[in-house]
Structure 1
Amino acid sequence: MRCVRITARSPPWKICADMPEHALLTIEDHRALRVSTERGIGLGDAVMCAIAVPSEFRRVQDEYPILFRLNAERDRFTALAMFGFETGENLFLDDGKWDARYLPLAIDIQPFLIGGSPSESGDKQVHIDLASPRIDGNGAGDGVRLFDEDGRPTPYLESITDKLGELDLGYRESEAFFAALDRYKLLEPLTLEIKLDDGSTNRLVGFHGIDEDRLRELDAATLGKLHADDHLMPIFMALASLGRLRELIARKNRRIGHG
C-alpha cells in the first residue's frame, strides 16, 4: 500500500486515524478523491476561532486578534485566532469567500490531519477526514485532485503536507513558548465587553491576553533571554493583534446593519 508521508510527529491536538471517519491517505483508496477549497458555512467554516501557533503569529496578527485560553484540564494554554464573538460566528465569511489575506494553518489544512505511526521515530502520515463536507469521493465535482493520472501527489497535496508539517512543528515548539509565558507571569485574564451599534453587547469571557504592564517590568536580561529563545517576537505580535479587535467589531456592526 502506498501512502503519503510527512516527517512530523503527531501533535496532541490532532485526532488520528482510530476515529471511524479518519483514514490514512493512500493512492489506491483515494486516487479519485477531490477536495473543495472553497469557503462557506456548509463546508465547516462557521467557527468562532481556530488554533494558531507562535511561529505564524506574525501572519495571523495581520488579520485576526490573537487571544489565549486554558484547555479543559486547565494545565495548558492554547493560542487562538479570533473570527467572531459567538459560537459558530465567522465574520470573515462573506458570500462564500473568506475575506482575509491569510488563513491560519489549522483552517488551511482541513480536511487533512497528521496520523501517527507504530514507531516513535518513524515518519508520520497524512490522514484525511472522510466525513468532511469538503470531500468529493467520486471525483466528479469541481474540487482539487489529490493525485494525478500517474498516481503522484498533486501540487495541492504537496502544499498540504508542507503545511501539516509546519503546523505540527509550530505546535511542538509552542510548549516552550507557553512555559516562558507562565514562568514570567505574562498572561492575564481578559474580559471584553463590546457595545455594538444596535445597542447590544457582546462579551468575550474565559480568554487571556499578554499582560503588557508585566512585560514592561521585565529586566533587560529576561527580555534578552526571551529574544534568544525566539519568544519575544510572538509576544509582541500577540499584543499588536489586539488592534484587530476594532476591525472585528466593525465587521460585526456591518453584519448587523445588513440584517
Structure 2
Amino acid sequence: MPDHAILTAAMHGETRVRHDRGAAFGDAVMSCLIVPDEFRRVQSDYLILFRRNVEDGSTAALAMFGFENGENLYLSAGGWDARYIPLAMDIQPLLIGGSPAGGEGAQVHIDMASPRIATTDGVRLFEDDGAPSAFLEDRIEKLGALDTGYRASVAFFAALDRHDLLEPLMLEVPLDDGSINNLVGFHVIDEDRLRGLDAMALGDLHQGGHLIPIFMALASQGNLPRLIARKNQTLGSD
C-alpha cells in the first residue's frame, strides 16, 4: 500500500531514488494519466485514448503502453524504449499533496512504499546541506507542470463534452499468433464530428487553446500499428 509523506530534508536527507526503468520499479502498467499540455510530446510515441468515469462523468486522457493490465510494451532489457516518458510516470515516487493544515497550498509528497526508494544506491534527493539535489529540482519542475496541466485539463474536457467530440472505441486487434486483443471502454476524438463543426464552434475551441491537443490526440492514432507490432514482437520471443 502507498505510504505518502511530506518530503523534507530532515526526514529524507538520506533517501535515494532509483530512476532505472523496469517492471521491478512499478513501470509494468498498461497506461498512465496524461494532461493536454503534454499531448504534443506524448503523440510522438504513444496512442492517446480517453476514458470516462461512469460514476461522476469526468474524463481522463491516457497514454497507452499495452493492451492488457500490467503490460508495458515499451519496457525492454535496455529500459524504456521511447523518446518521452509521460510526466505521471517520470515524477514517481514523488507526487503533489495538500498541506497538513488543509489549506490551499500544495506540497511535494513522497511514496515511501515505492520500489524506487533506496538508501544505498540511486540518486539523492537532498545534498549534505539540505538543499534539493539537481535531480529533485528537475522532478519538482515536472510536478509543477503536471499539476498545472491537470488543473487546465478541466476546461479541455468540458470543451470536448460541449461539442460532443468523443466517441466510444471498440477495437479488435488480431495478433500474429491468431489471438485477438480487445480495447474496450475507451473513447477517441470523433474526427467526422470535428470536421463538421461550424466556425463558431471552431472559434470556441481555438480561443480556449484546445485545437492543438485535439489534433495531437488524432495524430497519436498513427501509433496504434506500432503498438501492435511491439505486441507481436513479444509473442515471437516466447
Pair in the same fold by TM > 0.5: yes
Give the distance between the partners of 2:206 and 2:163, measured in 1 at CA.
Answer: 14
TM-score (norm 1): 0.89
Q: Which amino acid aligns with 1:94?
A: S
Question: Which of structure 1's runs of 4+ aligned residues deviate more than 6 A?
Answer: none
SS of 2:149's equivalent in the other structure is helix
Contact 1:116 1:125 in 2 (8 A): yes
Corresponding residue to 2:120 among 132, 136, 140: 140
> Secondary structure in 1 aligned to 2:61?
strand
Contact 1:38 1:96 (8 Å CA) reproduced = no
CA distance in 2, matches of 1:202, 1:93: 19
Structure 1 unaligned regions, length at least 5: 1-18
1:202 correspondence with 2:181: yes
| Structure 2 unmatched ranges of 5 or more | none
CA distance in 2, matches of 1:42, 1:52: 22
* Contact preservation (8 Å) 2:44, 2:220: yes
Cα distance 1:207–1:166, how it changes in 2: closer, same or farther (>3 A)? Answer: same
Write the deviation string for residues 9-63 of structure 1: whole angstroms up to 9, x where unpaired. Answer: xxxxxxxxxx871111111111010000001111100000000100000000000
Q: How many residues align?
A: 237
Alignment of 1:150 onto 2:132: no
Written as runs of structure 1 = structure 2, the 5 A alignment for 1:10-49 is 21-49=3-31
- Structure 2 partner of 1:189: 168
Offset of residue 161 of structure 1: 0.8
The one-letter code of the counterpart of 1:95 is: A
The C-alpha deviation readout for 1:173-214, integer Å capped at 9, x for no partner, is: 000000000010000000111011111100000000000010
Distance 1:20 1:64 in 2: 27
Q: What is the percentage of aligned positions where both structures have the same residue?
A: 64
Aligned pair partner of 1:180 in 141, 147, 159: 159
3-state DSSP of counterpart to 1:243: helix
DSSP 3-state at the match of 2:186: strand
Corresponding position: 1:166 with 2:145: yes
SS in 1 for 2:110: strand
Q: Determine helix, strand or coil for the equivalent of 1:242.
A: helix
Return the letter of the residue paired with 1:254. Q
Alignment root-mean-square deviation, CA: 1.2
